[in-house]
A and B are shown apart, each in its own frame.
Chain A
Amino acid sequence: MIRLIPRLDIKSSHLIKGVKLEGLRKIGAPSEYARKYYQQGADELLYMDAVASLYGRNSLTDLIKETVKSVFIPITVGGGIRSVDDARAILRCGADKVAINTAAVQRPELIGEMAHTFGEQCVVLSIEAIRQADGRWLAFTDNGREHTGLDVVEWVKEAVNRGAGEILLTSVDQEGGRKGYDLELVQVVSSVVSVPVIASGGMGQAKDGIAAVKSGASAVAMADILHYERDTVPGIRQVLAEEGIPVRPQASIQQGGTE
């Protein structure tokens, strides 16, 4: 089934939203939004510490612990995770998967170490892709500010070979723009790797999700569209379901399906 994943970018305990991962605006308390999306029937949640790389550590442990008391779906956490020990600390708080970007770029062996320790399904490679004039995409870190010189397509292939179990594919160009995902990017990346690709960045309306799935995405990350209540998880789910895309049945989400 295709997964619908609300993405919550967090800065100093606030849920924030930017455009192209910058110009961040405060929206509210992340745990409240997390609970709301869980109740709406999100299939998974994504917590990204937006400033972690500035401080070199992830500051979401308290938030994760709070969230797992009342949210019973998988949670992926990214931002500032630099080592197997960092990942273990995050998982011990109740997270199910960790997303890594900067640390994997600096030391690709970390991907294999984490996969060996926690299993491949636990390791999400986060990519911040920016389209270049020559039509290629290069991978960036630190919210699209730091250049790595890595070609996205080559980098995902290598990362998957090393044990990445999933790709969080954020188009910095499209992020916050509400004009849809970078479909070409989704198509190219999902055609070169066998692991699930989460399309991220640019969902303006529910039908953008359909396009991402048709381009090969196994999951769609959604932020702005939900945070600003332009649509809801069940609203988006219905649009996908009507298109024949396999999603969790709505009946299995509301009151456990008995009402």
Chain B
Amino acid sequence: MKRVTLIDYGAGNLLNVQRAFEHVGVRVEIATEAKQIEQAEHLVFPGVGAFPEAMRRLQQKNLIGAIQQAAVDTPFLGICLGMQMMLDQGEEFESTPGLGLIAGQVKALPTRTLDGKPMKVPHMGWELIRSNHQAWSSSLLNDIPPQNAFYFVHSYYADVQNVTDQLAVFDFGGHSITAAIQREHLMGCQFHPEKSGLMGLKVIERFLDI
């Protein structure tokens, strides 16, 4: 049986992510210490809440080094805030360094559409995602058809520096916002695969095959 390691640093509820992985038939190990992260075969990094607070917790638990080390060669999936924390820096409330696994910054979602109408933030709901600069074949989204929908809840987004890292985007009032990132074995999704029905479970299954 495959094994996946879920990083628990006290930011948000892991239960739903854990259930989704269990549902597709893998053993889920909850990691609270560096040693467990070092031994991971597949690492999942969820996150709910605010960027600075989540980074502080990682620091308090002394997990930053272990995560960065493991990310050198372990398949890694950041979810929502977890994906945002993979970047260099967060701009939520205050400038906070991230894990620096993917070049880019985390910024507040635009509050107006391209033609100036007010947008609702936090952004919450189902969106169709599409490929931007990177094809999906053999990526995290390999099994996702053009007709799709994923569930999002967030107020910030990943502004990635290299467009080749941007695996998917969704339309937010005319703005193309990062929906998923990938560089080799480093992956992240802004949406919640654990809340996106069968389509989300497909992303989870696919991650385990990488």
Chains A and B bind each other: yes
Q: Which residues of A contact B (CB under 8 A)?
A: 1, 3, 38, 41, 43, 68-70, 72-74, 91-94, 96, 119-121, 165-166, 194-196, 218, 248-249, 251-258
Could you say which of B56-64, B89-97, B99-107, B146-154 contacts chain A? B146-154
Query: Contacts A92-B13, A121-B153 given: A251-B145 contact, CB under 8 Å?
Result: yes
- Name 29 interchain pairs, CB-CB below 8 A, sorted by A: A3-B126, A43-B126, A68-B19, A69-B19, A72-B23, A72-B196, A72-B200, A72-B201, A73-B196, A73-B197, A74-B151, A91-B13, A92-B15, A96-B153, A96-B195, A119-B122, A165-B122, A166-B124, A194-B120, A196-B120, A218-B125, A249-B128, A249-B148, A249-B149, A251-B145, A255-B198, A256-B143, A257-B144, A257-B198
Contacts of A195 in B (CB 8 A): 120
Q: Are B122 and A121 in contact (CB under 8 A)?
A: yes
- Closest residue of chain B to A93 (Cβ to Cβ) is B15
Q: Are A94 and B13 in contact (CB under 8 A)?
A: yes
Contacts of A38 in B (CB 8 A): 197
Q: How far is the CA of A74 from the CA of B197 in the complex (A)?
A: 9
A-B pairs, 5 with minimum CB distance: A248-B149, A249-B147, A256-B198, A251-B147, A257-B145
Contacts of A251 in B (CB 8 A): 145, 147
Contacts of A252 in B (CB 8 A): 145, 147-149, 197, 199
Interface of A is mostly: loop
Contacts of A3 in B (CB 8 A): 125-126
B124 to chain A, nearest CB (A): 5
Q: Are A196 and B13 in contact (CB under 8 A)?
A: no
Contacts of A257 in B (CB 8 A): 144-145, 147-148, 198-199
Q: Are A41 and B197 in contact (CB under 8 A)?
A: yes
CB-CB contacts below 8 Å: B37-62 with A: 49
Contacts of B165 in A (CB 8 A): none
Contacts of B22 in A (CB 8 A): 69
Q: How far is the CA of A256 from the CA of B197 in the complex (A)?
A: 8
Q: How far is the CA of A91 from the CA of B48 in the complex (A)?
A: 12
- Closest residue of chain B to A257 (Cβ to Cβ) is B145
Among A70, A121, A252, the one with the most B-chain Cβ atoms within 10 Å of its Cβ is A252
B2-24: contact bitstring with A at CB < 8 Å (1 yes, 0 no)?
A: 00000000000101100110110
Q: Are A94 and B202 in contact (CB under 8 A)?
A: no
Does B194 count as interface, using CB distance less than 8 angstroms? yes
Q: How far is the CA of A28 from the CA of B120 in the complex (A)?
A: 38
Q: How far is the CA of A119 from the CA of B15 in the complex (A)?
A: 18
Among A92, A96, A256, the one with the most B-chain Cβ atoms within 10 Å of its Cβ is A256
B154 to chain A, nearest CB (A): 9
Does B127 count as interface, using CB distance less than 8 angstroms? yes
Contacts of A1 in B (CB 8 A): 125-128, 149
Does B118 count as interface, using CB distance less than 8 angstroms? yes
Contacts of B122 in A (CB 8 A): 119-121, 165
A69 to chain B, nearest CB (A): 6
A19 to chain B, nearest CB (A): 31
Contacts of A70 in B (CB 8 A): 23
Say which residue of A68, A165, A249 sits within 8 Å of B124 (CB atoms): A165
Among A3, A43, A119, the one with the most B-chain Cβ atoms within 10 Å of its Cβ is A119
- Closest residue of chain A to B15 (Cβ to Cβ) is A94
19 new A-B contacts at CB < 8 Å, known A72-B200, A74-B195, A249-B128: A1-B127, A3-B125, A73-B197, A91-B13, A94-B15, A119-B122, A166-B124, A196-B120, A218-B125, A248-B149, A249-B149, A251-B145, A251-B147, A252-B197, A254-B198, A255-B198, A256-B202, A257-B198, A257-B199
